[in-house]
Chain A
Amino acid sequence: MASASGRQFRAILRKDIVMELRTKEMLMSMGLYALLTMVVYFVALSQAGSEFDPRTIAAGLLWLAFIFTSLLGLNRSLVHEKDQGCLEALLLSPVDRPVIFFAKVVGNLTFLLIVEALTIPVFAFLFLQGHALESGAFSLVPLVMVAGSIGISGIGTLLATMSVNTSGKDFVLAMLFIPLVYPLLLGAVTATNAAIVGGPDAMMVFWQGMAWVAGYDVVMLLASYGLYEFIVGA
């Protein structure tokens, strides 16, 4: 049974990745969207003057980009499933609902992480050049990125499954997703900021933020896992 679940899990995940490799739609749209966000950031900061240190708000800007990119991606990933009738076929096949959930979560997480991993160097290249970074702590940013993205794709997959069946898809997803993900965002920005800016108790603040994010991940993944079965069948 366990191996059957594993096989089903891999099959669904492979389907998502193969489809993405053929169309490259999600990665392209999310990546370009992140790049466009950088342009908007530049305009927003253009009048801040040379005294302004972008490091102080870098964590917030990064997570802002991540949140809006993930909204785009989550919506996409479920719209595909629905438009092409793939979700219905999955539900008809003898696959456990949790397997579908975790496969979708891991698929979304993979694409999100790829886009984020590309965004961070671009962001650093455009905004953080010439500003000294805590060399040791900056390498901890990917850790926050992964922990935060797990929560985002967990809760996001569940909410996107709901919003894809509503009349105002994108808007409803944003309306449900952003308030729910707020605690995670707060912890992630705190930890990222501690890693980028540093300071005397940066490590303590960092791990506090990480603990907050991890706690949120556990609670929300469990809740989403419990509720997905009812949502996807409705």
Chain B
Amino acid sequence: MKSANTRAMVALVIGAVLTLAAFIGTFFWAAVPDYGTVSQPKYSFSARHPEAIDERLAHDYIGNRVGYEVEVVTDEGTVTGTLVAAEPKEGSGDGADAVMLATVATASGEQTIEVTKDDEVTAQIYNYGKPDWGQKIFYFHVPIAEISFIVFAVAAYFSVRFIMTRKREYDTKSRIAMELTMTFVALTMATGILWTKAAWGVWWQWEPRLTTYFIMTLLVVAYFVLRNSVEDEERRALYAAAFSILAFIDAPISFFITRLIPSTHPVIESGGLQPPMLITFIIAQIGMLFVGYAIYRLRMGEMELRDRIERAKTELEG
């Protein structure tokens, strides 16, 4: 009993320290992503809807604009299209006679052009005008959202255990995991809504990830509605267990939907984060995991205390 609470407190402290570390890392270590210039308008509803501007590229900078719409003006003429590749021409030297080989996909097929220092290359870029501070919420929103899926899975797991064994403790565990799901889902929704306003310019959009997550929120609410409307204790536990298993079917759908169908909700691509960003993100993730575990333990301790009081009461009365 005592050790369980100690463990919870230790977990809470570790979680708090890690979260604080992640907070510091977020603002003093991880770079603010430079959305000063990006190739395409990322989100169709952006508040800072970018204006297309032409960027004159330095000769050795062409390789950094692969994938952009470019216009290459050489002595032989003008070529416009998407830049596919750009590499220095072998043996061309790196002085005044340096030559880049730029491959451009045009309407009539790919074309490789020799670009010298005197040639003019412009890329079409979009100017957001200021650094993307809204991205900072990523270090909290994403870990919280992931934890919400994890605790939902834990709740479903304990529900299965309850149905198999009919032991009351599993019902309590499942219920507490569901309470945690509710907390983390609410936090995810709050941080997410702040971010969509900053990045997309709207508070809400019926977009696959947001929709399925909203449905998940409703399912978690429904779980508690169901619990509160059943009188009989054993029946309540069984119904709640069955419903949480059914409801959990939505979680994987919500989790994977951004990778299955076109969605404006961003996903983390492997290798997409610079080390300071990635490490801060991982610290935040572990910190949240500890906080979640600590809350779970503390609530379990509370339930055990309640049980003891109930038992003491019956003994005194008897």
Contacts and interface: CB of A to CB of B under 8 A. Distances in A.
| A and B bind | yes
A219 B222 contact: no
Contacts of A230: 163, 238, 241-242
A139 interface: no
Interface string A156-183: 0010001001111001100110111011
Contacts, number: 71
A227 interface: yes
A1 interface: no
Contacts of A191: none
B194 interface: no
Given A167-B231, A179-B215, A234-B235, A172 B253 contact: no
Interface of B: 163, 215, 218-219, 221-222, 225-226, 229-232, 234-235, 238-239, 241-243, 245-247, 249-250, 253
B218 A172 contact: no
Interface string A203-234: 00000000000000001100110010011001
A196 interface: no
B245 A227 contact: yes
A158 B249 CA distance: 15
A94 B229 CA distance: 30
A168 B229 contact: yes
A227 B242 contact: yes
B261 to A, nearest CB: 10
A166 B218 contact: no
Interface of A: 155, 158, 162, 165-168, 171-172, 175-176, 178-180, 182-183, 219-220, 223-224, 227, 230-231, 234
A167 B247 CA distance: 21
Given A162-B239, A168-B229, A227-B246, 9 more contacts: A165-B230, A166-B230, A172-B225, A172-B229, A176-B225, A176-B226, A227-B245, A231-B239, A234-B238
A179 to B, nearest CB: 4
A231 B230 CA distance: 13
